[in-house]
């Protein structure tokens, strides 16, 4: 019995000693593990700064691969206020402008060309304000027409037709000659010419090339024409083919962005024909209605550059026909503008003319002269600096504006 009790006591002592030893080993392991993690954190911080060793991120990834979690939270100093990083505000969506309808633009045509605002208008009104029509009146009238860029032949035609009509109708009172003058002027401007723009899509987008020398407002005209077409609910694409001036492409892109029209452009100095090709290709893929191609401002004295313009047209026509070639002329340049017009017409088949700056500084007669010289109509006129100051040309509205005293 005593032996049995002694045996049980010895066994109990052994069990207690084992438990105490186990607790001591566990505590030591936890202490060593904590120290090891602290050392790894310090090592990770040092290696991140020096670029050597295993970083904290790598240790974190290793722990994750092993099925554990080792996400380290940033330490915050006592008393420090933690704020969330502000999310940058989204860029504002650009406002798409709604262009003015073409019909309402014609209202400004009368105001810009009427009365004393235009040299030709002043001359016509001088004739109508005389007490009587005599030889001196006809000579003065003829001189006025010649100095308004009407041209010699159209001037002679108008004077002779008007003199004959007033003689037959027995009109000697200038105030009664207004109706006859209006009708003869309209005949001279020729309302029978087709002034419709070739912007109707067929199998492919309509392609409108815009040509002209520097300084005539060509790129601006392309931008304003895009607004005219957008106002007609057409899907438009712009081609910035003037690769010699980065500013021209930037300017065109700005015009397009204001009305939601994309611009295809190339690198500065790129082959213009290549950019034109890509612009028309993009228009075909996007099923656009019209592609407007803004060419470089060709100097009419540079034969090589003029030949390149012809190349641009040929390259475009590999994909789609060019439905319109518009020549932009500054209405204030007079005979110099006519020289430009003739040379451009020799390189590409001009289908229409855009006269810019046809306001108070213009003489007005160039409308008739350029049509006679080129055999193509004036289709659009620029009336000022406003974004919607480009209007379809109408023969009767033009004449009525010239004879208006408003």
Q: 303-319: per-residue pLDDT in tens?
A: 676 788 889 999 999 99
pLDDT at 119 over 70: no
Task: Please tell me whether 359 is known to bind a ligand.
Answer: yes
The Cα–Cα gap between 388 and 105 comes to 7
Task: Please tell me whether 77 is known to bind a ligand.
Answer: no
Task: Please tell me whether 224 is known to bind a ligand.
Answer: no
Confidence of residue 252 (pLDDT cuts 50, 70, 90): very high
| pLDDT-wise least confident of 125-139, 207-221, 369-383 | 125-139
Task: Please tell me whether 336 is known to bind a ligand.
Answer: no
pLDDT at 377 over 50: yes
Task: Please tell me whether 218 is known to bind a ligand.
Answer: yes
Task: Please tell me whether 213 is known to bind a ligand.
Answer: yes
Range of 18-22, 88-92, 378-382, 385-389 with top mean pLDDT:
378-382
Task: Please tell me whether 294 is known to bind a ligand.
Answer: yes
Range of 4-8, 46-50, 282-286 with top mean pLDDT:
282-286
Taking the CA of residue 385 as centre, how many other CA atoms within 13 Å lie in the half-sphere pointing to its CB? 1
Higher-pLDDT residue of 352 and 331 is: 352
Report the candidate in 145, 165, 164, 166 with the shortest Cα–Cα distance to residue 155: 145
CA angle centred on 199, ends 198 and 200, rounded to 5°: 100
Mean pLDDT within 314-326? 96
The Cα–Cα gap between 106 and 112 comes to 10
Task: Please tell me whether 298 is known to bind a ligand.
Answer: yes
Mean pLDDT within 49-61? 41
- Give the chain's mean pLDDT: 78
List of residues 6+ apart from 40 with CB closer than 8 A: 59
- Letter string b/e over residues 275-300, b meaning 16 or more CB atoms within 10 A of that residue's CB: bbbbbbbbbbeeebbbbbbbbbbbeb
Q: What percent of the chain is modeled with pLDDT above 70? A: 69
Task: Please tell me whether 198 is known to bind a ligand.
Answer: no
The Cα–Cα gap between 79 and 60 comes to 28
Q: For residue 57, what are its two tokens?
A: 């991120």
What are the distances in angstroms from CA 111 to CA 105, 157, 205, 390? 11, 27, 36, 14
pLDDT at 75 over 70: no
Task: Please tell me whether 48 is known to bind a ligand.
Answer: no
The Cα–Cα gap between 284 and 233 comes to 18
With a threshold of 0.85, does the pTM exceed it? no
Task: Please tell me whether 400 is known to bind a ligand.
Answer: no
- Letter string b/e over residues 237-261, b meaning 16 or more CB atoms within 10 A of that residue's CB: bbbbbbbeeeebbebbbebbebbeb
Q: 215-233: per-residue pLDDT in tens?
A: 788 999 999 999 999 999 9
Q: For residue 325, what are its two tokens?
A: 């070639």
The Cα–Cα gap between 397 and 109 comes to 8
Task: Please tell me whether 217 is known to bind a ligand.
Answer: yes
Task: Please tell me whether 358 is known to bind a ligand.
Answer: yes
Higher-pLDDT residue of 98 and 205 is: 205
Task: Please tell me whether 219 is known to bind a ligand.
Answer: yes
Judging by beta carbons within 10 Å of its beta carbon (0-12, 13-18, 19+), is residue 366 exposed, middle or buried? Answer: buried
Task: Please tell me whether 295 is known to bind a ligand.
Answer: yes
Report the candidate in 366, 384, 273, 269 with the shortest Cα–Cα distance to residue 327: 366
Domains for the chain: give ranges and CATH numbers. Answer: 103-189 (1.20.120.140), 206-350 (3.40.50.300)
Mean pLDDT within 288-302? 82
Confidence of residue 386 (pLDDT cuts 50, 70, 90): confident
């Amino acid at each position: 019995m005593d032996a049995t009790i002694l045996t049980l006591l010895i066994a109990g002592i052994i069990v207690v000693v084992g438990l105490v030893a186990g607790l001591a080993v566990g505590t030591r392991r936890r202490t060593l593990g904590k120290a090891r993690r602290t050392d790894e954190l310090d090592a990770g911080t040092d290696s991140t700064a020096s670029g050597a060793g295993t970083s904290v991120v790598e240790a974190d990834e290793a722990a994750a691969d092993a099925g554990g979690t080792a996400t380290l939270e940033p330490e915050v100093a006592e008393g420090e206020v933690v704020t969330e990083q502000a999310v940058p505000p989204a860029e504002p969506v650009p406002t798409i402008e709604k262009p003015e309808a073409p019909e309402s633009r014609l209202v400004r045509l009368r105001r810009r060309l009427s009365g004393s605002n235009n040299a030709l208008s002043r001359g016509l009104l001088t004739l109508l304000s005389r007490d009587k029509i005599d030889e001196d009146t006809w000579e003065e009238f003829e001189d006025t027409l010649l100095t308004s860029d009407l041209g010699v032949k159209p001037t002679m035609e108008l004077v002779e037709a008007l003199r004959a009509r007033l003689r037959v109708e027995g009109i000697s009172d200038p105030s009664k000659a207004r109706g006859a003058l209006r009708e003869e002027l309209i005949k001279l401007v020729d309302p029978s010419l087709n002034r419709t723009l070739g912007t109707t899509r067929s199998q492919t987008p309509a392609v409108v090339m815009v040509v002209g020398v520097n300084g005539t407002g060509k790129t601006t005209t392309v931008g304003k024409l895009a607004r005219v077409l957008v106002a007609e609910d057409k899907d438009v694409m712009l081609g910035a083919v003037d690769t010699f001036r980065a500013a021209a492409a930037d300017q065109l892109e700005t015009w397009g962005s204001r009305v939601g029209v994309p611009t295809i452009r190339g690198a500065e100095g790129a082959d213009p024909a290549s950019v034109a090709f890509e612009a028309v290709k993009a228009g075909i893929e996007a099923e656009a209605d019209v592609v407007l191609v803004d060419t470089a401002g060709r100097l009419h004295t540079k034969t090589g550059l003029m030949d390149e313009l012809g190349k641009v047209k040929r390259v475009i026509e590999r994909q789609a026909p060019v439905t319109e070639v518009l020549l932009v002329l500054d209405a204030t340049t007079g005979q110099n503008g006519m020289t430009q017009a003739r040379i451009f017409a020799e390189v590409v088949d001009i289908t229409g003319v855009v006269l810019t700056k046809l306001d108070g500084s213009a003489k007005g007669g160039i409308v008739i002269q350029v049509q006679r010289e080129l055999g193509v109509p004036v289709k659009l006129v620029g009336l000022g600096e406003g974004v919607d100051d480009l209007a379809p040309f109408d023969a009767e509205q033009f004449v009525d504006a010239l004879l208006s005293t408003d």
